[in-house]
Every structure is written in structure tokens, then in C-alpha cells.
Amino acid sequence: MIYLRSEKQSPKRIVPQEKRNTLQFKIMLAGIAVCAAGTGGFFLAYFARHVIGNFRDVQTYSMAAAFIGVFLYSTAARQLNVEIKKTTFYKILTIVTDIPFDPPEKGDRTKSLIKYADETGDDWRIFRNVKPEGSDFALPNVVIGPKGIFAVYPTADNPSSKKFRDPAGKLKELSDKLAKSLDAEVKPLIVFARHGEEFRSTEVYSCRLRDFSDFLLEKGSCNFSEKELEKIEKKLLELVIS
């Protein structure tokens, strides 16, 4: 299964290629290196305290180095228009290794769905945040393949819990609107991460995450051609929101 994203959703490098040869970027890398060395020195001094005479002094110097590193990084980041607030290890890693920044979003289970759809093959596609025409809400995921189109609502909730909010009604409504937008049948499907055997609905389908791949292959009732799939893909990308 292939994950198709709109231009707005596609992960981008935090520092563009054209800025990686600038003095500011070199200062940023130096700041990361100095901060890492200072942090490492602080903890190493503690673990080697029985060998080092006055390990507290080493820790003090290490902390000073770490602060200098943070200062260098922050100064360069501002000049490169890199947000400082949400700095994580993953973000630093993408800067150093020059790979697109693609952090997981809260509630986004697209990659989990792809993982458990391993038997479907590359002729299946998955989209995220698809907003049908005439709707104020977006579908978490839409899956299309030769055998059909599925409006997917993945959840980790337990349908047996009193706190469970049944999404069937809203999912069916959005699914019907998407069907009109695509002029094709769309099957609404709730995918439960851990529970779901006891869930019953006359409006939507449901399955466990581990059975996701089998469900798509068994319940699909269409026989789309490549041209039909390309047309549907193009329309879905137009309906994707960031």
C-alpha cells in the first residue's frame, strides 16, 4: 500500500538545500555538536566520578559548553527561520542527516494501517484527511484499490467502554458524501486497534487492525481499471486538506 499525500502534506526539509552551505547553517551544526559534547561530558563526569578528582568542576564546564551550544543553535535557527520552540531529538536528527521532517501527528494512524495492509500490494493507495464536498469534517483515511474504496476510521477506543463514542453515524454520512464526490461506491469501515469483536453496526463495517489487509481483499466488490483508479486518486488529492 502506497501513502499518497498532497503538496501541503508532503514532508519537507527543515533547512532547504540552498541554505545548507551558508555560514548560519555551519554555526547551527557547531551548536548541535557543542551542546551534545557538553551534555555527554556532564553525564560521563558523574559516571566517572570515582576516577575524576573533582567531577563537579567537569560537570560545571560541561554545562557551560552545553549552554553555549544552545545559544549558537538558537542564534543560527532564527536567521534560518527554523522554529525553536518544538525542538526534539528527531527534529535535530533530520537537520543533521538532511532528511525530510515527517513527525507523527496526534491521532494519525496512517502508518499503522499501512503496516497491517502489507498483503494488499502497491496497487492500493491510502490518503489522510479527506474532506468530502459539502462537508465540514474530514475522513481520517480513505483507502482505494482495484477492489474498492473504503472510508476508514481507525481508533484505539474500546467499544465496550461506557466512554466509547460510536462514530458509525458520522462515518456513514461522510462516506455517502464522498461517494457522491467520486461518483462511486464507498464503504465505511471502522478499524479497531485492540478491541472490536463485540462491535455491531448496521451502518458501517468494522474489523480489527490485524485483520485490515484481509478485510480489504475479501470485502472489496469492485473491479476498477487503472484509468478509473487514476481518476479517483486525482479527485481524492483535490479533497485532501493539510
| CA–CA separation, 240 and 138 (whole Å) | 8
Residues 101-149 have pLDDT tens digits of 988 777 788 889 999 888 888 889 999 999 999 888 999 999 999 989 9
> Which DSSP state fits 101?
B
* pLDDT at residue 161 in the model: 85
* Beta strands at 139-145 and 125-130: parallel, antiparallel or unpaired: antiparallel
**Its pTM surpasses 0.85:** no
| CA–CA separation, 47 and 44 (whole Å) | 5
How many other CB atoms are there within 10 angstroms of residue 60's CB atom?
A: 13
* pLDDT at residue 159 in the model: 85
CB 178 within 8 A of CB 190: no
Residues 203-234 have pLDDT tens digits of 999 999 988 998 898 887 788 888 999 999 99
pLDDT band at 242 (very low <50, low <70, confident <90, very high): confident
* pLDDT at residue 160 in the model: 85
